[in-house]
Amino acid sequence: MPHYDWYEQKNCESWEAQAMAKFITAINCMDGRAQLPVIEYLKSNFKVDYVDMITMPGVNKILTEQKDKVLIDYLKNCVDISVKRHGSNAVAIVGHHDCAGNPVDKQSQYSHIRRAMELIKSCGFEGKILGLYVNENWQVEVVSETNNI
């Protein structure tokens, strides 16, 4: 099996360029259908190089219900790493159509996204917080956003 390191690839970035890269954080469902639309939306609209994707099935419901402290702490730790180690200054909370982990209608998804945004803000995050919904056409809709940056 061939081994490829980042420095062996053509047109790869130098360490210096990687250190100056811009990141944004997304807390998204694990559903692969919701990944690329969110990544493309965030990279295009926020002029970032990379999206730190934190995923769990029905993650907006998990954040809203706050029933599992271990999962909530895990998600908070992931955001903390993205912010402190990658310099992310914005977090997107994402829900989507046809979610197996949170099988509710669009309006309930919107409500869960907004409440999850409040939790992130209450944890002391001072950057921009976005609420996004990936609709039935796999297009990103803005549910809400803060202007903390």
Domain boundaries, the chain: 16-145
Instruction: Calculate the alpha carbon distances from 62 to 1, 11, 59, 73, 85 in Å.
Output: 39, 40, 5, 11, 25
Q: Tens digits of per-residue pLDDT, 111-134?
A: 999 999 999 999 888 899 999 999
Q: Quote the mean pLDDT of the chain.
A: 89
pLDDT reading at 58 higher than 70: yes
Place of tokens 């409440």: 115
- 16-145, what's its fold? Beta-carbonic Anhydrase; Chain A (3.40.1050)
